[in-house]
Structure 1
């Protein structure tokens, strides 16, 4: 068995179902070996960046590494953004690219650059297969490294001549059992004492809860202890927003409703939070709060995140142990006033009007249209701030936000990965027009493979988040406005459906219809009124006084 087929065999044995990528001259044997597999489907994309985003979202939703493949040189370089995104989001991924043959990678040569060194800073492991006989062990190790400990991407380069060499084996190495750790009882007891003695304890729920499937334990813990809880952007869904103890999200660029709970807090129980999600100075500006860190790995050092108790274990086990140790403890910190502010702002979006619609109107119509299991991917831009703040989320992995690297344009290709990972769920990508034009070519990929997804475009002909930031800090903006093509003609040229929204009711009805049918690629084009951006900032300044 040659190297190419050995790679495929190991991936098959690890239950890999898709490889996203583009073939090149130097990896044709690997692509052909994948094509011969009856267990793995090759998804041909229109740009390697799209492949990396598809693989990243697939890994985020399944907990298994998404696999992206590319040729050497420029093809490999195009994978970098999605690989770095997976690294900052702690998402399992395997990136496999071609490389020049062993007879030339040590010197200056056509399309040869040091890919191993290039991928090293943004992966858990970066290596080449220098000898065919090592293929099985390297691919197996790559898979295990990707999922164990803090999940993340790995990179494997396959020199062109090694790809065709015989491995001398058809054996696939056994996978390493996932790591599992019990919480330290003494640390649990210490954390319980601190919580009981705190005057204003609050819980912060991060993306680690979702990734480790500890949402059931967290919700039971919150209902038992009555502790108020706010999620990070990427932790949305870890707590059911219908809970009376849920405060919404933390991490907005301005001082938002949830921040007031942290202003008053003397203790923060931080569960599954990662520093890449947002700067902790926003919740602990004076670095004087007691922090209990509960995760599967220790965080990096930060002066505004001084950890008093560091509980490193399986998160579900830690939550159960802490719950037991707290006995009948119940907090009196309900923070009902904060919930009322969030609910009032959501309710303001239920008013009917013609376009352009306010962010509140688009969000409320979207929530009314998407079922509880529907998966919404929220791209980066001004809309991310609004969706993170106001889109009620009831279950984990039903509102995906990228707040690690916070790259633009990930959600359209990501929607393809999401539908392949969760075929029984409705998939909605929410994007700005700036993000859409960066990766819109992947509409053709979705159409060609008959992958039903819906894209909702918030159209303002601007890089809205940067405009918002400029207006906040400088009182004016520049170099952020642009024009768009005729979106209807553009979208239909790919074979997808397009509709320009005329009102809030039109948005709701059309979106419900697209999601219910779930059999085509659809794009809804909705003009948005971002004058609400500065109105929000002014309002939050006044709310500070009342809360």
Structure 2
């Protein structure tokens, strides 16, 4: 078939569609008019117009985290591109495959004093593994292919800047699919796992630390834990992988985790890390032998004293390990100790979640949520005090969790919830946010209204940046600037076309949550929250 004449913008969309891209998040600017015009003329890719470019990048990052596919965001040159950086930082830190497409000054103005001009390749350098400026329309397919291969193959951010005039030029080339090798081949064999099995079989006090990368093998890991006699701890990304009722699931570790699991974890003699690169500083075993499974070898050097790194997909490695461990004689004394730690924390967690009073204790809010939220819901967490209280007290049943892991930015929760609802409209989606984080993205309440996104936002409203206040207290420093001047969130939500609710007492929490979750419209629940010092602040 001969080449169909298309503009660069049109050809890019055809190629992105072939990559499986369904949405592009962005803010319109004049240097991207060629792309905007092309988007308006087709219906394969939906353009999601947001209020701020950081929201666009957050949504692209959340989509990439949730689906594993390519998240795409766009912005104009200068300030538009600069505003993407926070969300791109999140994608970079959490290894989410995101492509940013930005407009650039027209070709004859690049490198001059043209208004808003900046060298975007230098601008994106800290976050983008590949950044290129399209200098010729006929290179469109090649640079897009390289960007997508790099993003998906390495789980990284990539970036393309397109001069305003080139966006509208005719371009040669035909879209083509990515090669099937994009996911990469396994780098291990069954025989190569013999060393790992040998280490695991020496264990008398084994532990498993699981994260988001173990999503597809949660059942196999539970089976392995029972066979091996290992307690299972999770990073925040692993919250929701295992039902909290499972025999050896001890909940999280680190700030917000099971407080009784910390000492137990320090006694482990062998630890298997599955799908996580996070190592809980201050909670680590002193003499344990560490086995880490991950697709990217560079993850083995993230301050984790790994003895043996297995390079491969968790879903491919774990079944081999499980098969090889058949017949292992586990330590029943260690299993009993794990179970006692689990039971002790479950009892305390229940007690904390029953705390009465108004403004409401954060633990009480989390228990109201875990009683009312669907077991297969998607939870989008903002960063802040709400994160650690969710990690501590929310008793998961299999919910998926989206959060800003290593970047830890305020403002992630609402955009992530909106992206999740666009991707899985039939799922219940709940954003758990603090008042500080929500106020960074308040304008994008209107984005949910614009696209009819039936999400629920629960605001822990304690009129402060509570996590920072707690840390200042621990550091014995004076505080200033941690008190917030809040709007009436209910009235604000209603002004934006949302339904706004506010429980008048802790006894109304469940009924208000249920009303919000059953409302077929964007709904905000403003919970007056007690200013409680988080017990594990450091």
- TM-score between the two structures when normalised by the length of structure 1: 0.92
Kindly state the Cα deviation for residue 475 of structure 1 after the two structures are TM-superposed. Answer: 7.2
SS at match of 1:307: coil
Alignment of 1:230-249 (within 5 A): 230-249=233-252
Kindly state the Cα deviation for residue 253 of structure 1 after the two structures are TM-superposed. Answer: 7.2
SS at match of 1:174: coil
Alignment of 1:506-545 (within 5 A): 506-517=508-519, 519-533=520-534, 536-537=535-536
* Alpha-carbon distance between aligned partners in 2 of 1:281 and 1:358, rounded to the nearest angstrom: 27
* Alpha-carbon distance between aligned partners in 2 of 1:100 and 1:164, rounded to the nearest angstrom: 13
Paired residues of 1:187 and 1:310 also in contact (CA < 8 A):
no
Alignment partner, residue 313 of structure 1:
312
Q: Which segment drifts farther, 62-71 or 139-148?
A: 139-148
2:410 paired residue among 408, 412, 428: 408
Alignment of 1:80-479 (within 5 A): 80-149=85-154, 151-169=155-173, 171-177=174-180, 178-181=183-186, 183-210=188-215, 213-252=216-255, 256-274=259-277, 277=278, 279-284=279-284, 286=286, 288-300=287-299, 305-332=304-331, 333-334=334-335, 335-351=338-354, 353-395=356-398, 398-474=400-476, 477-479=479-481
* Alpha-carbon distance between aligned partners in 2 of 1:300 and 1:168, rounded to the nearest angstrom: 40
1:481 paired residue among 480, 483, 490: 483
* Alpha-carbon distance between aligned partners in 2 of 1:305 and 1:50, rounded to the nearest angstrom: 32
* Alpha-carbon distance between aligned partners in 1 of 2:192 and 2:307, rounded to the nearest angstrom: 10
Kindly state the Cα deviation for residue 351 of structure 1 after the two structures are TM-superposed. Answer: 3.1
Paired residues of 1:58 and 1:420 also in contact (CA < 8 A):
no
Q: Which segment drifts farther, 71-80 or 506-515?
A: 506-515
Q: Structure 2: which 5+ residue stretches go unaligned?
A: 1-5
Paired residues of 2:204 and 2:330 also in contact (CA < 8 A):
no
Q: Could you say if the C-alpha distance between residues 254 and 369 of structure 1 is closer, same or farther in structure 2, counting changes exceeding 3 Å?
A: closer
Paired residues of 1:19 and 1:42 also in contact (CA < 8 A):
yes
Kindly state the Cα deviation for residue 158 of structure 1 after the two structures are TM-superposed. Answer: 0.7
Kindly state the Cα deviation for residue 438 of structure 1 after the two structures are TM-superposed. Answer: 0.6
* Alpha-carbon distance between aligned partners in 2 of 1:473 and 1:166, rounded to the nearest angstrom: 60
SS at match of 2:159: strand
* Alpha-carbon distance between aligned partners in 1 of 2:234 and 2:193, rounded to the nearest angstrom: 22
SS at match of 2:265: helix
Alignment partner, residue 36 of structure 2:
31
Q: Which segment drifts farther, 335-344 or 67-76?
A: 335-344
* Alpha-carbon distance between aligned partners in 2 of 1:426 and 1:50, rounded to the nearest angstrom: 21
Paired residues of 1:3 and 1:165 also in contact (CA < 8 A):
yes
* Alpha-carbon distance between aligned partners in 1 of 2:211 and 2:368, rounded to the nearest angstrom: 27
Kindly state the Cα deviation for residue 303 of structure 1 after the two structures are TM-superposed. Answer: 8.6
SS at match of 2:460: strand
Alignment partner, residue 81 of structure 2:
76
Q: Could you say if the C-alpha distance between residues 229 and 352 of structure 1 is closer, same or farther in structure 2, counting changes exceeding 3 Å?
A: closer
Aligned residue pairs total 527
Deviations 1:378-399 (A, max 9, x none): 111112111112212232x612
SS at match of 2:142: helix
Q: Could you say if the C-alpha distance between residues 303 and 52 of structure 1 is closer, same or farther in structure 2, counting changes exceeding 3 Å?
A: closer
Deviations 1:452-509 (A, max 9, x none): 1111000111101111112223176443112211222222111111112222332211
Deviations 1:417-443 (A, max 9, x none): 010111111111011111111101111
Alignment partner, residue 545 of structure 1:
none
* Alpha-carbon distance between aligned partners in 1 of 2:284 and 2:354, rounded to the nearest angstrom: 37
Kindly state the Cα deviation for residue 354 of structure 1 after the two structures are TM-superposed. Answer: 4.7
Paired residues of 2:379 and 2:402 also in contact (CA < 8 A):
yes
Q: Which segment drifts farther, 251-260 or 214-223?
A: 251-260
Paired residues of 1:348 and 1:361 also in contact (CA < 8 A):
no
Q: Structure 1: which 5+ residue stretches go unaligned?
A: 541-547
* Alpha-carbon distance between aligned partners in 2 of 1:385 and 1:271, rounded to the nearest angstrom: 22
Kindly state the Cα deviation for residue 197 of structure 1 after the two structures are TM-superposed. Answer: 1.0
* Alpha-carbon distance between aligned partners in 2 of 1:345 and 1:399, rounded to the nearest angstrom: 23
- TM-score between the two structures when normalised by the length of structure 2: 0.93
SS at match of 2:349: helix
* Alpha-carbon distance between aligned partners in 1 of 2:138 and 2:377, rounded to the nearest angstrom: 45
SS at match of 2:61: helix
Paired residues of 2:239 and 2:252 also in contact (CA < 8 A):
yes
